[in-house]
């Protein structure tokens, strides 16, 4: 069986409350050997850490751009203190989820950018890679990274241009691909997934969000009472098979390459996988 790393899944989300442990066990049985659980704000920093330790997974700490309206200097100070406290924790593998979101309405762009830069400084201080949220904001994120370069990381749910992808690659980043590539209408994304260098790609689900095509329900279907399918790490092997088919390679070769890429993007993962049961 191929082994997979889900490099981005929000397993502390309330959608998993009814069956969180069973969900993670099902993913492990499907071949998902490891999950990286990013935080989104001060309210879930301890939760992601506890889950990672409980399951033998890993975690990241940060403030998500969608959570920046409620975040102030005190939250940055608390984040710095927690990173200082846990900098020796082998399961703390990145700073994230951080970034910029120019798609969601009502967000203060200047405040988002100030929070991103402050967290990039923390990543530099603690020598951590970053998990980046980049929605309608790739060029602005690139600008921040040029001013405050960090130890690489992952551009999560990447959906920019080929040129923007190459800029991330040149900066030492890998690009996260997940359920969105399973939609035939996502022609641009599928072309990127097929044509970008294999050593630039990592796998992710963003669970419980970004469901693959086989779980997706349209707005009309949901209005008629059909529940939206809940994404989970157990979907990762099937997503990987879709990506392997797009690239014309064997699923096992894709799994091995994406695992190598994840270990390169997040170097603290390697000893965790070696010590896994």
Residues 160, 197: Cα–Cα separation, whole Å: 15
Residues 266, 151: Cα–Cα separation, whole Å: 9
DSSP letters for 86-119: HTT-TTEEEEEEEEEESSSTT--HHHHHHHHHHH
Q: In whole angstroms, how far apart are CA 203 and each of 17, 21, 185, 198?
A: 24, 22, 20, 11
Check the annotation: does 8 bind a ligand. yes
Average pLDDT (91-117) is 97
Determine the 3-state secondary structure of 147 from DSSP: helix
Average pLDDT (78-106) is 97
Q: Would you say 239 and 178 are in contact if contact means Cβ atoms under 8 Å apart?
A: yes
Q: What is the DSSP letter of 182?
A: G
Residues 173, 83: Cα–Cα separation, whole Å: 22
Token output for 101: 């979101």
Check the annotation: does 188 bind a ligand. no
pLDDT attached to residue 77: 98
Determine the 3-state secondary structure of 26 from DSSP: helix
Taken in order of first residue, the domains within the chain and their CATH numbers are 4-274 (3.20.20.140)
pLDDT above 90 for 81: yes
Cβ neighbours for 54, distance < 8 A, ≥ 6 positions apart = none
pLDDT attached to residue 218: 76
Half-sphere exposure of 117 (CA within 13 A, CB side): 12
Facing residues of 132 across strands?
Answer: 98, 155
Q: Please compute Rg for the chain using Cα positions.
A: 18
pLDDT attached to residue 105: 94
Between 136 and 274, the more confident residue is 136
Q: How much is the pTM?
A: 0.96
pLDDT attached to residue 275: 75
Q: Which parts of 127-211 fold into alpha helices (H)?
A: 138-147, 162-170, 187-195
DSSP β-ladder status, 153-156 and 4-6: unpaired
pLDDT attached to residue 170: 98
Among 2-6, 88-92, 141-145, which is the least confidently predicted range? 2-6
- What is the pLDDT confidence band of residue 194, given thresholds at 50, 70 and 90? very high
Residues 126, 116: Cα–Cα separation, whole Å: 15
Check the annotation: does 142 bind a ligand. no
pLDDT above 70 for 181: yes
Half-sphere exposure of 151 (CA within 13 A, CB side): 17
Sheet of strand 92-101, all strands in order from the earlier edge strand to the far edge = 4-6, 32-38, 58-61, 92-101, 130-135, 153-156, 173-177, 201-203
Determine the 3-state secondary structure of 65 from DSSP: helix
Mind listing the pLDDT tens digit for each residue in 216-252? 877 777 766 666 789 999 999 999 999 999 999 999 9
């Amino acid at each position: 069986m191929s082994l997979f790393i889900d490099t981005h899944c929000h397993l502390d989300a309330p959608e998993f409350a009814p069956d969180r442990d069973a969900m993670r066990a099902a993913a492990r049985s499907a071949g998902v050997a490891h999950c990286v659980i990013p935080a989104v704000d001060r309210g879930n920093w301890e939760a992601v850490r506890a889950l990672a330790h409980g399951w033998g997974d890993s975690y990241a700490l940060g403030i998500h751009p969608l959570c920046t309206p409620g975040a102030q200097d005190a939250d940055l100070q608390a984040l710095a203190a927690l990173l200082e406290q846990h900098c020796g924790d082998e399961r703390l593998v990145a700073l994230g989820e951080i970034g910029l979101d120019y798609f969601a309405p009502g967000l203060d762009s200047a405040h988002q950018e100030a929070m991103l830069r402050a967290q990039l400084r923390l990543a530099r201080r603690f020598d951590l890679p970053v998990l980046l949220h980049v929605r309608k904001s790739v060029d602005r994120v690139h600008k921040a990274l040029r001013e405050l370069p960090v130890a690489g990381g992952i551009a999560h749910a990447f959906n920019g241009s080929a040129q923007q992808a190459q800029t991330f690659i040149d900066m030492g980043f890998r690009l996260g691909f997940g359920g969105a590539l399973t939609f035939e209408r996502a022609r641009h994304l599928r072309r990127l997934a097929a044509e970008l260098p294999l050593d630039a790609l990592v796998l992710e689900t963003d669970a419980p969000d970004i469901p693959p095509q086989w779980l997706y329900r349209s707005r009309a279907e949901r209005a008629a009472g059909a529940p939206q399918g809940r994404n989970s790490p157990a979907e990762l092997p099937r997503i990987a098979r879709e990506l392997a088919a797009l690239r014309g390679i064997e699923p096992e070769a894709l799994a091995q390459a994406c695992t190598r890429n994840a270990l390169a993007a997040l170097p603290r993962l390697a000893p965790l996988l070696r010590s896994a049961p």
